[in-house]
């Protein structure tokens, strides 16, 4: 017998919001996501659920269901 | 004739109100990079009667700067820190300044920025912008950062905006117009972005934290 919450769990799609877009990236680390999406780590800042994520923690920070991520990309000029 | 300090302050209080001017006059703002953004931010804040400006840049005034930066022909060759201080004092003789003719990096940022309440990121280089942003937001949790990204070219002025990214991090610009693309930086659009940054600083001082 399968517990009801397992059924619900498999039916509900787990998603992360990245820059306002819904992305299927739950379980990936921030480092993995950034590499796959083609970001240049030297030119960005990453905010997760209202707090900045230090660069040193990109590899250990996992994206969880419901997380809201903002990746700020800097371009040159000033 | 240069007005006395009391006359200067009286004029500012009449403009901004006593309470707000007190806050503006007691705030220290660091301007990191004194190019098109930084020199315009510093000029706006000096006119508003900001208490103290920490001016940081390693560079000297060059003829190619004059189309968008707040320097004069007779200042070519001077350190930007010294030239800008001179110009700001002509606008507001009572502004307090601290200058650092250095290149900010992760090692010296903490020391150079220690007295600042609010920090303006006004660098030219994208990697330097990201470095300073990381530094301030990771290591200086009591300070506000007002950064800029995307203000080059002749794109619409209405694309320049201010976004609040975290409770202490604001970002101004269109976030896409790179200096490498198109015709480079144009005075009026850089000034728009600098005005967004200076205005955000004043709004933070006035406890208006939403954009």
Question: Residues of B at the A interface (Cβ-Cβ below 8 Å)?
Answer: 33, 35-38, 122-127, 129-131, 133-134, 137-138, 147-152, 165-167, 169, 171, 175-180, 184-185, 190
Instruction: At A63, list the tokens.
Output: 């994206």
Say if A39 falls within a structural domain.
Answer: yes
Chain B partners of A43 at a C-beta cutoff of 8 Å? 126-127, 129-130
Nearest to A43 among B130, B150, B166 (CB): B130
- CATH number of the domain that A57 lies in? 3.10.20.30
Assigned CATH for B18-205: 3.40.50.720
The predicted model scores a pTM of 0.94
Say if A8 falls within a structural domain.
Answer: no
A73 touches chain B (CB under 8 A): yes
Residues in chain A, pLDDT under 50? 7
Strands B118-121 and B28-32: parallel
CB contact under 8 A, B36 and A78: yes
B39: nearest CA in chain A?
Answer: A78
Q: Domain locations in chain B?
A: 18-205
Chain B partners of A77 at a C-beta cutoff of 8 Å? 36, 124, 150-152, 177-179, 184-185, 190
Specify the pLDDT at position B29: 99
ipTM for the complex? 0.92
- Are A67 and A17 within 8 A, CB to CB? yes
Report the number of distinct structural domains present in chain A. 1
Say if A6 falls within a structural domain.
Answer: no
A44 touches chain B (CB under 8 A): yes
A51 touches chain B (CB under 8 A): yes
Q: How far apart are the first and last CA of chain A?
A: 63
- Are B157 and B189 within 8 A, CB to CB? yes
Specify the pLDDT at position A44: 98
In which domain, by residue range, is A41 found? Answer: 18-73
A68 touches chain B (CB under 8 A): no
For B101, counting Cβ atoms within 10 Å of its Cβ (0-12 exposed, 13-18 middle, 19+ buried), the class is middle
Say if A4 falls within a structural domain.
Answer: no
Say if A28 falls within a structural domain.
Answer: yes
B189: nearest CA in chain A?
Answer: A78
CB contact under 8 A, B166 and A44: no
CB contact under 8 A, B148 and A78: yes
Beta strands in chain A (DSSP E): 16-18, 21-23, 44-48, 51-52, 68-73
Specify the pLDDT at position A7: 47
Chain A partners of B137 at a C-beta cutoff of 8 Å? 45, 52
Mind listing the pLDDT tens digit of every residue in chain B (211 residues)?
Answer: 899 999 999 999 999 999 999 999 999 999 999 999 999 999 999 999 999 999 999 999 999 999 999 999 999 999 999 999 999 999 999 999 999 999 999 999 999 999 999 999 999 999 999 999 999 999 999 999 999 999 999 999 999 999 999 999 999 999 999 999 888 999 999 999 999 999 999 999 999 999 9
Which of B31, B105, B137 is best to mutate for the A interface (most A CBs within 10 A)? B137
Say if A37 falls within a structural domain.
Answer: yes
Say if A7 falls within a structural domain.
Answer: no
A72 touches chain B (CB under 8 A): yes
Nearest alpha carbon to residue B177 among B206, B145, B150? B150
CB contact under 8 A, B124 and A75: no
Specify the pLDDT at position B82: 98
């Amino acid at each position: 017998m399968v517990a009801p919450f397992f059924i619900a769990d498999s039916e509900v799609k787990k998603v992360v919001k990245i820059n306002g877009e819904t992305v299927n990236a739950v379980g990936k680390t921030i480092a993995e996501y950034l590499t796959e999406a083609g970001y240049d780590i030297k030119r960005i800042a990453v905010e997760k659920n209202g707090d900045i994520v230090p660069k040193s923690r990109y590899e250990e920070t996992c994206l969880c269901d419901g997380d809201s991520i903002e990746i700020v990309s800097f371009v040159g000029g000033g | 004739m240069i007005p006395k300090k009391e006359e200067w302050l009286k004029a500012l209080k009449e403009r901004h109100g006593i309470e707000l001017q007190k806050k503006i006059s007691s705030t220290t703002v660091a301007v990191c990079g004194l190019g098109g953004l930084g020199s315009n931010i510093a000029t706006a804040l000096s006119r508003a009667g900001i208490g103290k400006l920490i001016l940081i840049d390693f560079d000297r005034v060059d003829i190619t700067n004059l189309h968008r930066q707040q320097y004069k022909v007779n200042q070519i060759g001077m350190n930007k820190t010294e030239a800008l201080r001179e110009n700001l004092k002509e606008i507001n003789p009572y502004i307090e300044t601290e200058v650092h003719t250095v290149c900010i990096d992760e090692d010296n940022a903490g020391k150079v920025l220690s007295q600042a309440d609010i920090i303006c990121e006004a660098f030219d280089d994208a990697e330097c912008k990201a470095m300073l942003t990381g530094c301030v937001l990771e290591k200086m949790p009591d300070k506000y950062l007002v950064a800029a990204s995307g203000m080059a070219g002749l794109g619409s002025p209405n694309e320049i905006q201010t976004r609040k990214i975290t409770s202490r991090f604001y970002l101004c610009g269109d976030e896409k117009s790179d200096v490498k693309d198109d015709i480079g930086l144009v005075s009026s659009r850089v000034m728009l972005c600098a005005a967004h940054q200076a205005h955000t600083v004043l709004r933070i001082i006035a406890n208006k934290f939403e954009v």
